[in-house]
């Protein structure tokens, strides 16, 4: 299972002073050295954290894989076509939200999503769609030509009690199974942390997790390299029974 580390919130701290530090690119390189298999960034329409230059410099320096999260807009498709990330993950975006709140409405989104998928794929960029664990959304993702779906784990992470959490976990597991069966690569992310990652990492069809906020938060205590090493060890442990440490 691959671990994608999202460094958006390193840029959030930088943008708090609109200065130069901390630098998400330096952080990304440390994450790679510590075992991240991918660097993920979300270039938001309002540029509240990651900036265009960050994405360009990351493209030059990232040695693993670069995953660009983006809204399916003409502006962002142009950025992706010029930067050429290894993967473009299409996400819904609302200006007023604190973070990406729900999955992309592939079914009800009209031509916008399908057009973005087609333009990116024609340019050779792999496309993943960030969707809720909903079987219809997954079938539609396949129909419009995506290669992967990232299943939104936010409701699982926010579940109020163990009954709701188990229901969400089952939804995610069923969605991963369906995606795998129809030939879409099933990935997952959002709201995962050191406490809740285990059951998700044990879903056998999932091949990649994208985790940001909890790793950056942990980095304040132990440094970003150690925070990534701890998460990578946890994922390995839950996946394959490899001891932590």
List residues with catalytic annotation: 42, 69, 190
Binding mask 1-30 for ligand PXP (x = CB under 6 A): -----x-x----------------------
101, 171, 111: which is closest to 138 by C-alpha? 171
Cα–Cα dist 159/140, whole Å: 26
- CB hemisphere CA count around 148 (13 angstroms): 25
Indicate if the alpha-carbon torsion angle 214, 89, 184, 151 is positive or negative: positive
CB of 191 to ligand PXP, least distance (A): 5
- Contact of 196 with 157, CB cutoff 8 Å: yes
Question: Which residues are paired to 106 by β-bridges?
Answer: none
Closer residue to ligand PXP (CB): 173 or 212: 212
Q: Phi and psi (nearest 5°) for 196? A: -105, 0
Binding mask 132-171 for ligand PXP (x = CB under 6 A): ------------------x---------------------
52, 3, 57: which is closest to 25 by C-alpha? 57
Point out which span in 31-39, 77-85, 104-112, 211-219 binds ligand PXP (CB under 6 A): 211-219
Answer for which of 49, 190, 218, 229 binds ligand PXP (CB under 6 A) is 190
Closer residue to ligand PXP (CB): 101 or 226: 101
Binding to ligand PXP, residues 50-109 (CB under 6 A) = 69, 89, 91, 99-100
- Contact of 102 with 63, CB cutoff 8 Å: no
Closer residue to ligand PXP (CB): 134 or 214: 214
CB of 68 to ligand PXP, least distance (A): 11
**Interface with ligand PXP, residue 212, by CB under 6 A:** yes
240, 235, 216: which is closest to 2 by C-alpha? 235
65, 112, 107, 104: which is closest to 84 by C-alpha? 65
Residues lying near ligand PXP in the complex (CB under 6 A): 6, 8, 42, 69, 89, 91, 99-100, 130, 150, 189-192, 210-214
């Amino acid at each position: 299972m691959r671990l994608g580390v999202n460094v958006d919130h390193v840029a959030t701290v930088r943008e708090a002073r609109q200065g130069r530090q901390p630098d998400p690119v330096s952080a990304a390189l440390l994450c790679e050295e510590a075992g991240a298999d991918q660097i993920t960034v979300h270039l938001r329409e309002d540029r509240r954290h990651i900036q265009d230059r960050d994405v360009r410099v990351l493209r030059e320096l990232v040695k693993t894989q670069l995953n660009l999260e983006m809204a399916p807009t003409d502006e962002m498709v142009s950025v992706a076509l010029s930067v050429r990330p290894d993967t473009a993950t299409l996400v819904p975006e609302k200006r007023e939200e604190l973070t990406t709140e729900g999955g992309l409405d592939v079914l009800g989104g009209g031509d916008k999503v399908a057009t973005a998928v087609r333009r990116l794929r024609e340019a050779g960029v792999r496309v993943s769609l960030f969707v809720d664990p909903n079987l219809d959304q997954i079938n539609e993702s396949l129909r419009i030509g995506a290669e992967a779906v990232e299943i939104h784990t936010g409701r699982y992470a926010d579940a109020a009690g163990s009954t709701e959490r188990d229901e969400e976990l089952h939804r995610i597991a069923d969605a991963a199974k369906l995606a795998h069966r129809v030939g879409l690569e099933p990935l997952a992310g959002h709201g995962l942390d050191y406490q809740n990652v285990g059951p998700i990492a044990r879903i056998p069809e999932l091949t990649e997790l994208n985790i940001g906020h909890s790793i950056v938060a942990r980095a304040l205590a132990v440094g970003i390299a150690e925070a990534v090493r701890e998460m990578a060890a946890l994922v390995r442990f839950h996946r394959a029974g490899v001891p932590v440490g």
